[in-house]
């Protein structure tokens, strides 16, 4: 059975971090540190969610001369709703061990 989109542990970790303050703009390095996701994992997820209109993005100029602007991210209303749905399903989903259904203890 194929998994539902947006249910990988990495995507759920990112959703959790973004839902902490859904209206706050976040940059990739901050999200990488909070989720412990490597840039090669994090940025493809951010790009995919942006393409699907689940994240909005903007560029923030640097306060320090000579430093490049930062790409900022935050959840859209649809993205926040999906994130909440996927995280709730993760907590509520029973798991099977040895043929018996076990209660999930997050």
Tokens for 21, please give them: 């303050």
Q: Flag whether 1 is in a domain.
A: no
Q: Which domain holds residue 68?
A: 9-102
pLDDT tens digits, 50-77: 999 999 999 999 888 899 999 999 999 9
Q: Flag whether 24 is in a domain.
A: yes
To the nearest 10°, the Cα dihedral for 54, 47, 10, 74? -50
pLDDT tens digits, 16-60: 999 999 899 999 999 999 999 999 999 999 999 999 999 999 999
Q: Flag whether 4 is in a domain.
A: no
- Cα–chain center distance at 36: 12
Q: Flag whether 2 is in a domain.
A: no
Q: What is the CATH number of the domain that holds 66?
A: 1.10.10.10
């Amino acid at each position: 059975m194929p998994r539902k989109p947006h249910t990988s542990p990495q995507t759920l970790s990112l959703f959790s971090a973004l839902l902490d303050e859904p209206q706050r703009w976040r940059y990739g390095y901050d999200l990488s540190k909070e989720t412990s996701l490597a840039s090669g994992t994090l940025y493809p997820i951010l790009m995919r969610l942006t393409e699907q209109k689940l994240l909005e993005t903007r560029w923030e100029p640097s306060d320090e001369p000579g430093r490049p602007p930062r790409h900022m991210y935050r959840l859209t209303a649809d993205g926040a709703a999906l994130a909440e749905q996927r995280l709730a399903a993760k907590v509520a989903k029973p798991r099977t061990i040895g043929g018996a259904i076990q209660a999930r203890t997050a």
